[in-house]
Structure 1
């Protein structure tokens, strides 16, 4: 499916309407870091979609009023976010020709704390894109579920790259890869469940809130710095190459190799930050202490507790929901929570 196929060509009749949608966040296993114009990823990525950490959004469209956007986050008006959404809506007008023909009041709430290391931009733009597709269906007539999801993923990508992966449950791929049939730079696709071993279908993600404040460098700036990073091209190639072992790992259920690859990807992401110009470090002392304790715990017990990191200090603790879960959670609560701010942890699962 090409960009041309997402262009809005149908006749439409608009009227005042309110819709609501919900969208989860996701955590990448093979990381996306670096992009080209129009939110095209420099390398493919694969992520787990979370089950509990979601953005719930209602969108009131008031027809025939001057185009404007009002946004409320947990009941508080957010003017800067409204300006960002106005710009976003103007950018996607070619794909939704009715979008600038009214006023919007958008109310949104997250089920997880702000600045928690869980991508609220992914769940937020995912929910907005789903609301827009609901309106599009109302205004332009019938649309297939498959096309609606693909177009929602396409639109979400133009707001926040990783948001396109949040439209599907389970494991999701964004970016063209020879290893994944139907994969695209324009939207995400669901990784086939039939190719995933059952051990990877019921996983825990506990996010340790090492640092709950604003990041010193935004992800947008971080992506931009990859343009001058001397190691960028090799990194992009490595991510493409990592889909080869990942495909085999997911099919065979090789948890040992899964752990090795996921942790390597997380550390590589932060290595790219450290090798940017200017360089920046988002990990904190607590991040490193947790990583070392995880490695020691795994060496001593052989239990499959491991980590991944987003572009921040907080640590995503990953472990399967099998008979090792009780010992792992006891260790987390006794040894790792003390490295967080205020014993902060967000508990989620990836189950499909």
Structure 2
């Protein structure tokens, strides 16, 4: 598919008012997306586990205006309170997607959104938030065009979510989603995420992710700034090549169930992401001392116990501790005994692989 495929022709239905609500999860990348081209297109492909507990719930109430507005007409409530400082990001998003959703200035929207995790927790909410919003808007479009297929609906939501936050395109489905052109992945695209199309061993079916909140402060560098630092980065070309190679390796790993090789790839990807930030200009060190303490503790525990626990990182100090279902009791005891002391206020979030967004029933 190409971008113009998502531009609709005239709608064959009219909707005066209504409501729609979706719950959409966050995700954690195994092969990292870092560096983007114009229009939120990735410099390299990525793949992620869809999460379950860390999610955003968004409800949109919409009412058709007497005549189209010159500006986008919407109110925004975050966890029940007006949130004016979120509005500029929504306006930017609407501006990017209006060509694909030409009805946006024909309605007034009341957008009510909330997270299952504290907004100040240091967990990125852009993936879950933008995917939930995109789902609601395309659900309205499906009412205007009921002939829209389920497959096209999913692709369009992912396509639009990407224009709000790149990683949001990986939150629509589960349990493993790939985004970005990759010559050895059938159906892969820079435009939207796809459900991973190949065999996945049972070892990876019920993975757990305990998120250790090392630093709940505001991000030291925004994702947009971080991605832009990949332009003219001295190691960018090799990094993009590495991502393709690691995706090739994961195809074999997911099929065979090789947990040791999985660990090697995932931890290398996490450390490479931070290495790219440390060697950019300007440069940033996003890990905190306690991040390093946790990593070393995980390595020590894995060595002495022969466990298959591993870590990954986003562009920040928090640590995602990944482990298979059959080790959950032993690993979680280790986390409680040895790791949560390194978390801010001993806070952590227990999560696991999930299966994508869900539409919520609306009360009449």
With the shorter chain as reference, the TM-score category is over 0.9
Query: Deviation at 1:87?
Result: 2.3
Query: Deviation at 1:239?
Result: 0.5
Q: Identify the range of structure 1 (10-19 vs 283-292) with the bigger mean alpha-carbon deviation.
A: 10-19
Name the residue aligned to 2:22. Answer: 21
CA RMSD of aligned residues (A): 1.2
Matched, 1:291 2:295: yes
Q: 1:205 aligns with which of 200, 204, 209?
A: 209
Name the residue aligned to 2:152. Answer: 147
Query: Deviation at 1:117?
Result: 4.3
Is the contact between residue 90 and residue 100 of structure 1 (CA under 8 Å) also seen in structure 2?
Answer: no
Cα distance in 2 for residues equivalent to 1:319 and 1:88: 36
Cα distance in 1 for residues equivalent to 2:49 and 2:184: 17
Is the contact between residue 21 and residue 59 of structure 2 (CA under 8 Å) also seen in structure 1?
Answer: yes
Name the residue aligned to 2:362. Answer: none
Cα distance in 2 for residues equivalent to 1:63 and 1:163: 28
Matched, 1:45 2:42: no
Q: Identify the range of structure 1 (24-33 vs 342-351) with the bigger mean alpha-carbon deviation.
A: 342-351
Q: 2:254 aligns with which of 250, 254, 267?
A: 250
Name the residue aligned to 1:167. Answer: 172
Name the residue aligned to 1:238. Answer: 242
Name the residue aligned to 1:116. Answer: 121
Query: Deviation at 1:83?
Result: 2.1
Note the alpha carbon deviations across 1:12-54, whole angstroms, 9 max, x for none.
5241221111100000000000000000000000000001111
* CA 1:96–1:351: 2 relative to 1, 3 Å: closer
1:338 match: secondary structure: helix
Query: Deviation at 1:116?
Result: 3.2
Query: Deviation at 1:96?
Result: 1.1
Name the residue aligned to 2:350. Answer: 347
Name the residue aligned to 1:54. Answer: 55
Note the alpha carbon deviations across 1:107-139, whole angstroms, 9 max, x for none.
101001224343310000100010011100112
Q: 1:71 aligns with which of 69, 73, 76?
A: 76
Cα distance in 2 for residues equivalent to 1:149 and 1:228: 34
Is the contact between residue 203 and residue 320 of structure 1 (CA under 8 Å) also seen in structure 2?
Answer: yes
Cα distance in 2 for residues equivalent to 1:69 and 1:81: 12
Moved over 4 A (4+): none
Runs of 5+ unmatched residues, structure 1: none
Higher relative contact order (CA closer than 8 Å, sequence separation 6+): 2
Matched, 1:331 2:334: yes
Name the residue aligned to 1:217. Answer: 221
Is the contact between residue 13 and residue 140 of structure 1 (CA under 8 Å) also seen in structure 2?
Answer: no
Is the contact between residue 122 and residue 217 of structure 2 (CA under 8 Å) also seen in structure 1?
Answer: no
Cα distance in 2 for residues equivalent to 1:239 and 1:274: 18
Cα distance in 1 for residues equivalent to 2:335 and 2:257: 24
Name the residue aligned to 2:2. Answer: 2
Matched, 1:93 2:94: no
Q: Identify the range of structure 1 (136-145 vs 241-250) with the bigger mean alpha-carbon deviation.
A: 136-145
Cα distance in 2 for residues equivalent to 1:231 and 1:332: 35
Cα distance in 2 for residues equivalent to 1:176 and 1:229: 21
Cα distance in 1 for residues equivalent to 2:315 and 2:167: 12
Query: Deviation at 1:238?
Result: 0.8
Matched, 1:187 2:192: yes
Q: 2:318 aligns with which of 314, 323, 329?
A: 314
Q: Identify the range of structure 1 (74-83 vs 23-32) with the bigger mean alpha-carbon deviation.
A: 74-83
Cα distance in 2 for residues equivalent to 1:10 and 1:195: 40
Cα distance in 2 for residues equivalent to 1:40 and 1:219: 14
Aligned pair count reads 350
Query: Deviation at 1:99?
Result: 1.3
TM-score by length of 1: 0.97
Query: Deviation at 1:175?
Result: 0.1
Is the contact between residue 228 and residue 277 of structure 1 (CA under 8 Å) also seen in structure 2?
Answer: no
